[in-house]
Amino acid sequence: MGFDLNRHWQDPSPWAHPTLHAVKQLIVQINQDPRVSLEFYIDVHAHSTMLNGFMYGNVFEDEERVQRQAVFPRLLCQNASDFSFSNTSFNKDLVKAGTGRRFLGGLLDDSSYCYTLEVSFYSYMTAGSTAPVPYTEETCIL
């Protein structure tokens, strides 16, 4: 129906956004169970203008939590040649307030980390390279 589902996490409609509504209800239900801890939420998207893979994360006042949140993207950077930590950013832009990362970052407790993983539609640059490498089925299998 033309909705950007990643902008409707705050108040998804059961009629217009049924899958988002159901997932949100499930996460809220899981979060209320004291026996369960939801530690990671990762929303995966394709990016139409930037190269490589990179992440968006939330902003925290607690410096230790800021550092802990950066561990996962740093590990990706060390282990995936197409991931760029320099393109990774941590923000709380108002325009992103309805995203899963931002909404769940405010809902879940301090032991949870919520990310958006973005990967280029087109290609990536490896360190020291001057030519982009296109994403193909073959490069994804490697």
Residues 8-22: tens digit of each pLDDT = 999 999 999 999 999
Cβ–Cβ contacts within 10 Å for residue 125, how many?
Answer: 16
Residue 11 has φ and ψ, to the nearest 5°, of: -150, 70
CA distance 83 to 137: 17
CB distance 102 to 95 below 8 Å? no
Query: Using one digit for the tens of pLDDT, what is the confidence trace for 22-55?
Result: 999 999 999 999 998 899 999 999 999 999 999 9
CA distance 105 to 87: 20
Q: Please report which confidence band the pLDDT of residue 95 belongs to, taking 50, 70 and 90 as the band edges.
A: confident
Q: 61, 64, 118, 138: which is the annotated catalytic residue?
A: 118
Pick from 77-81, 83-87, 100-104, 138-142: least confident:
138-142
Decide which of 30 and 128 is more confident: 30
Residue 142 has pLDDT above 70, yes or no: no
Whether this model's pTM surpasses 0.85? yes
**Which pLDDT score is estimated for 88?**
96
Q: Which residue matches tokens 């993983």?
A: 117
Pick from 8-12, 27-31, 90-94, 116-120: least confident:
90-94
User: Which is it for strands 40-47 and 113-120: parallel, antiparallel or unpaired?
Assistant: parallel
Mean pLDDT over residues 116-131, rounded?
90
CB distance 101 to 41 below 8 Å? yes
**Which pLDDT score is estimated for 110?**
85
Residue 122 has φ and ψ, to the nearest 5°, of: -110, -65
Per the annotation, the verdict on 118 as an active-site residue is yes
CA distance 52 to 50: 7
Q: Please report, for the chain, the start and end positions of each structural domain, with discontinuous segments joined by +.
A: 35-141
